[in-house]
Amino acid sequence: MAILETKHLIKHFDGVYAVNKLSLSFEPGRITGIIGPNGSGKSTLVNILTGLISPNDGEIIISGEKLTKIMPHYVPFLGMTRTFQDVRLFEQMPVLDNILVVLTERSIWPALFERHTRFHLDKAEAVLKQVGLWEKRDELARNLSYGQRKLLEIARVLAMSHSGTGDLEIVLFDEPFAGLFPEMIKTVSDVMRELRAQGKAVILIEHNMELIRELSDYLYVLDSGELLAEGKPEEVLARKDVIEAYLGE
């Protein structure tokens, strides 16, 4: 049974449809890939689902709750989080504090003054070790390499599953592998597999077809804001219309 659905979702900008009557379904315990050429509506879809923009029409259904739009501050309480193509961190804070903020209060200022218990510190250590950043825990986030910054953002996603505000059920990864070295790609892939094993609904937007084939259990292909194809990755990627639209062959 789906934990997240869109029903006839529509978003247009000055008459141009970025998302047009899009109906998708995302199940727990599954990695669902979303691919499509530039301008196909992937980013618009994710921004709608996480409240950065509002749809013109249609519904979003999360755990049975029907919504016409989502407010950004409400996203964590819906059990959902995301990563960004352009990594967003608390630049002036150490790596460890970037995690502790997520583990404690959702608002940064109360989090800075909240007493960090042994539970918080242990969980922060665990997620930083999982992504290989424990040795960087005292480093300011702004001083990390690009790849390390991406790993820290993913560590923040993992920390959400241990926080006190709702239960993390849906994770959207927006091109998480771009610019990563092979060992970092393996780390992020392992994180996704672990989230799937925990029963989370993992949504992966990615251009690397090898990784899409390797990680996705189900695949959606978007083109010009509409659903072009869906199904098992190997079957979908072999379709002529997908090859023509996405791969340009």
pLDDT at position 51 over 80: yes
pTM of the model: 0.88
From CA 28, how far away is CA 107, in angstroms rounded?
28
- Predicted pLDDT at 69: 84
- Predicted pLDDT at 73: 82
- Predicted pLDDT at 219: 98
pLDDT of 136-156, one tens digit each?
Answer: 999 999 999 999 999 999 998
The answer to whether the CB of 189 falls within 8 A of the CB of 170 is: no
User: From residue 233, how far is each of 2, 31, 242 by CA, in Å?
Assistant: 19, 11, 11
- Predicted pLDDT at 101: 85
pLDDT at position 107 over 60: no
Under CATH, which number does the domain 1-79+166-178+201-249 receive? 3.40.50.300
Q: What residues does each domain of the chain span? A: 1-79+166-178+201-249, 87-164
Choose among 232, 236, 238: nearest CA to 30: 232
Q: How many other CB atoms are there within 10 angstroms of residue 25's CB atom?
A: 17
Mean pLDDT of 99-121: 64
- Predicted pLDDT at 160: 78
- Predicted pLDDT at 178: 86
More confident position, 12 or 38 = 12
Q: How confident is the model at residue 167 (pLDDT cuts 50, 70, 90)?
A: confident
- Predicted pLDDT at 113: 47
